[in-house]
Structure 1
Amino acid sequence: MKNALLIATACLLALLSTTGASLPYPILPPLFVHGAADGFTNFLGLPPKLLFALALMVNPVGLLIGTSVLGSLSDRFGRRPLLLGTTAGAAIGHTLTAWALARGSYPLFLLARFGTGLLEGQSAIVRAMLAERLQGPIRNHALSWLNGALTLGWLFGPLLAGFTVGFGVTVPFYIAAAALALGALLVLLALERRPQAAGPSWWRVARERHAFNLLRHPGLRTLFGVQLAYTCGVTAFYEFYPLWLVEVGHYGARSIALVNVAMCALMSFSALFAGRQSSAEPLGRAACLAGGVALAIASLGAGHLWIGIAGIMAFGLPHAFYNAVVQAWAADRFGAGHGQGAVMGLLSTTFCLANILMAAAGAVLTLFDTRLVLVLGALLTAWAATRMRAWSRESLPAAAPQAE
């Protein structure tokens, strides 16, 4: 019963986190492509597509900073207080986002999305909470279910936006803020208070134990490089397939939401089974799955609507299994030596960095053709699959504990 409550709490927080993060995906493309020319969509006279890419990029910048330190801070100060603060703060961030949209203030929108991303880096905390308190097959299943909850957030966020934006563009963000406030209440009730041991200040922990410090170790450097290439492809897909649907299929927010529902439903269903034990070597299995993801992303490069939609649908299956395999393997391989919070923070940070890189690349490439950034993402994911296959045949360096 205790494990069930722990897993349920972690999954709900993950669901609420990504629901809010994914809200703008079906709202922003039609707004910047077909919306009225005003101070929001033509800020400083800049091209709307460039403003769209910047609006996508600012939230991952906050996530990058948050995920790089929140996991380590929770190792030092405890999961409960960090989860309380970040969940409540993210609720405030969504409220400010809604206010910015209501006022038509592009700078305030960027600031609010940055602050929300900074606090939504809590996925590293909940992953670490499961990785340290659970062992064996139940941990693998729990991490897989957590990935499923994160994926469901990518489903519910666009779905919520698509079906409530008709009541006002701010409504989805107010709903997300209310849901996160309820999430903070759940943390308060479900997680016990634990005494804090004496140790360094939060500033010292953030400065000296952030996730990038792990890159001093060879095995974690290799993992970072492979994971960065893989997630660059994934984030290129997440960020720009809605814009691709607008340009190729002339889809609106509701139609984009429906396509996203079908993709995420398959991904979430796959995640229910992705944590099962397998006799296959983990890295070799992950390489095959990454290859399948690369093919799905590349299908959008053809520019044919139904081929692309088939690729969008297919994307979720290998991606769900890849996440379960790599996260469980990383927890087993590196968690004991470096702290589960720091290791899971590195994985989350890699995803955030990929968001920033591909949003920046898309800001340029979409001025020529949106398909270019999607093809680039497919190539990077294919390289990750090839490198992971080679890595699975190498002898991985032992992970030495990080010096205090």
Structure 2
Amino acid sequence: MNDRLLIATLCGLGLLSTTGASLAYPLLAPLFADGGSNGLNSFLGLPPKLLLGIALMVNPVGLLIGSAVLGPLSDGFGRRRALLTTTIGAALGHVLTAAALVSESYLLFLGARFFTGLLEGNGAVMRAIVIERIPGPLRNHALSWLNGAFHLGWLVGPLLAGFSMGGGITLPFYVAAGALLLGSSCVAASLPATAVAPGTDSWWAVARRRHAFTLLGHLPLRTLFTVHFAYACGVASLYEFFPLWLVDVGGYDAREIALVNMGMCALMTSAALFAGRASEREGRRRAALYAAVAAAAILCLGFGNLVLGIMAIIAFGVPHAYYNAALQTWSADQFAHHGQGSVMALLSTTFCLANIVMALVGAVLTLIDTRVVLVLGGVLAAWAAFALRNWSLASAHPGMEGR
């Protein structure tokens, strides 16, 4: 097996998975809010903005479910089979999305976006492959590069939509589908087939009994979920509400917000190239330090002015990239006996859940002040840093930490 080809293939698929999730964002607003009537924005006579909100929500909901079940499924049925199936299926989902846009079928559009999100929740499968297949110190670097590819997709998706939609609103989805099919051929070439694990039931039985949240029956993994969820809520508060903060504080328009987002994504992706370097410091201690720096960046938006806030948004990408690398590699080493697919699925699902929770909480808190959401997020990330450090210290004393 060619390790370089495998790493490049997984990074490409990671990029495409988040690209597919973000692809529709710049395309949907004009369809639903430009004042014209079509089959999408007039479904059942409901308000166009309500229909837009539902259309934006279904993909992340599919991503949440996929993140919870695809990793454990790959533990039983094999990484190659799971990755090929989800990649080809996601390509089909993009084609169905294009068909829905052409026919102006709102229900088909919802189904296609949910189906695509469900299958693009295969990040846990990719991370498990890196952990199991890439030897030595290169493993940590490859895991960090994969994280960087996921980050970059949130920038590439809107750019792909913006540059290719001149050929028609469906062209970006056909481009994404073609790229995924090319990626599936690389998976077939770079990843050897494995047999179904002994005792594995049907895929439905495995998904129902071995989804990521079944790991919460173990005390250390409950602790991992709790601290990572708190940190992820902080991250989600920044991701989801810094555009609104820029509008409130600086009167920024869409182009100016996009430039700030580009700066953050570019720095985050660059940091991920180096975040996998080996360190003598214990993984949770490193993650705690990076979480504390990230929390400080988030709080700068809650208490700072426009210039300080913009600097904090862009700089946030560095500690976040290093936090992901530290926590994921530590979790992979510590909980390997639970199945790498399941462990990585727990981390991915936790992040998806945090995004949904903060979107709901933030929708209420922004009625008071957008800065309230960001202060809450910063406090949660700071608590996660404190909890991670204490957890690491407790593990040095026998009997203080469950195994």
Normalised by the shorter chain, which TM-score bucket? 0.7 to 0.9
Q: How does 1:3-402 map to 2 (within 5 A)?
A: 3-27=3-27, 35-36=34-35, 38=37, 45-46=46-47, 48=49, 53-102=53-102, 106-165=106-165, 168-199=168-199, 200-245=201-246, 248-252=250-254, 254-301=255-302, 305-335=306-336, 337-366=337-366, 369-395=369-395, 397-399=401-403
5+ residue gaps, structure 2: none
1:100–1:375 distance in 2 versus 1, CA, 3 Å: farther
Q: CA deviation at 1:9?
A: 1.8
Q: CA deviation at 1:147?
A: 0.9
- Is 1:130–1:142's contact at 8 Å kept on the other side of the alignment? yes
Q: CA deviation at 1:186?
A: 1.8
2:170 and 2:368 mapped to 1: Cα distance? 31
Q: CA deviation at 1:312?
A: 1.9
Q: CA deviation at 1:246?
A: 5.3
Q: Secondary structure at the match of 1:270?
A: helix
TM-score normalised over the length of structure 2: 0.87
2:164 and 2:82 mapped to 1: Cα distance? 31
Structure 1, residues 137-170: CA drift from partner, whole Å, max 9, x if none? 2211111111111122122123223433455444
- Is 1:57–1:360's contact at 8 Å kept on the other side of the alignment? no
Q: CA deviation at 1:378?
A: 2.4
Q: CA deviation at 1:263?
A: 1.3
Tell me the amino acid that sits aligned with residue 300 of structure 1: L
1:296–1:113 distance in 2 versus 1, CA, 3 Å: farther
Q: CA deviation at 1:191?
A: 2.0
2:251 and 2:102 mapped to 1: Cα distance? 28
- Is 2:140–2:325's contact at 8 Å kept on the other side of the alignment? yes
Structure 1, residues 344-400: CA drift from partner, whole Å, max 9, x if none? 11111111111221222234344555444333322322221222222222126354x
2:110 and 2:266 mapped to 1: Cα distance? 30
Q: Which structure ranks higher in relative contact order (CA pairs < 8 Å, sequence separation ≥ 6)? A: 1
Show the counterpart of 1:402: none
1:59–1:160 distance in 2 versus 1, CA, 3 Å: same
Tell me the amino acid that sits aligned with residue 235 of structure 1: A
Q: Secondary structure at the match of 1:393?
A: helix
Q: Which deviates further from its counterpart, 92-101 or 120-129? A: 92-101
1:370–1:105 distance in 2 versus 1, CA, 3 Å: farther
Q: Secondary structure at the match of 1:94?
A: helix
1:175 and 1:147 mapped to 2: Cα distance? 23
Tell me the amino acid that sits aligned with residue 152 of structure 1: L
Identity of aligned residues (%): 62
Tell me the amino acid that sits aligned with residue 66 of structure 1: G
Question: Which 4+ runs in 1 deviate beyond 6 A?
Answer: 29-32
Q: Root-mean-square deviation (CA), in Å?
A: 2.8
Q: Which deviates further from its counterpart, 221-230 or 148-157? A: 148-157
TM-score normalised over the length of structure 1: 0.87
- Is 2:283–2:329's contact at 8 Å kept on the other side of the alignment? no
Q: Which deviates further from its counterpart, 205-214 or 158-167? A: 158-167
2:289 and 2:282 mapped to 1: Cα distance? 11
2:362 and 2:132 mapped to 1: Cα distance? 38
Q: Secondary structure at the match of 2:274?
A: helix
Q: Secondary structure at the match of 1:391?
A: helix
Tell me the amino acid that sits aligned with residue 164 of structure 1: S
Q: Which deviates further from its counterpart, 359-368 or 39-48? A: 39-48
5+ residue gaps, structure 1: 400-404
- Is 2:75–2:197's contact at 8 Å kept on the other side of the alignment? no
1:25–1:297 distance in 2 versus 1, CA, 3 Å: farther
Structure 1, residues 301-329: CA drift from partner, whole Å, max 9, x if none? 35854443222211110000000000000
- Is 1:29–1:242's contact at 8 Å kept on the other side of the alignment? no
- Is 1:243–1:370's contact at 8 Å kept on the other side of the alignment? yes
Tell me the amino acid that sits aligned with residue 269 of structure 1: S
Q: Which deviates further from its counterpart, 241-250 or 113-122? A: 241-250
Structure 1, residues 193-248: CA drift from partner, whole Å, max 9, x if none? 33335432222211221111110111000000111111122223223334444565
**Paired residue total:** 395
1:104 and 1:220 mapped to 2: Cα distance? 45
Tell me the amino acid that sits aligned with residue 327 of structure 1: Q
Q: CA deviation at 1:37?
A: 6.8
1:11–1:350 distance in 2 versus 1, CA, 3 Å: same
1:343 and 1:82 mapped to 2: Cα distance? 16
1:295 and 1:365 mapped to 2: Cα distance? 20
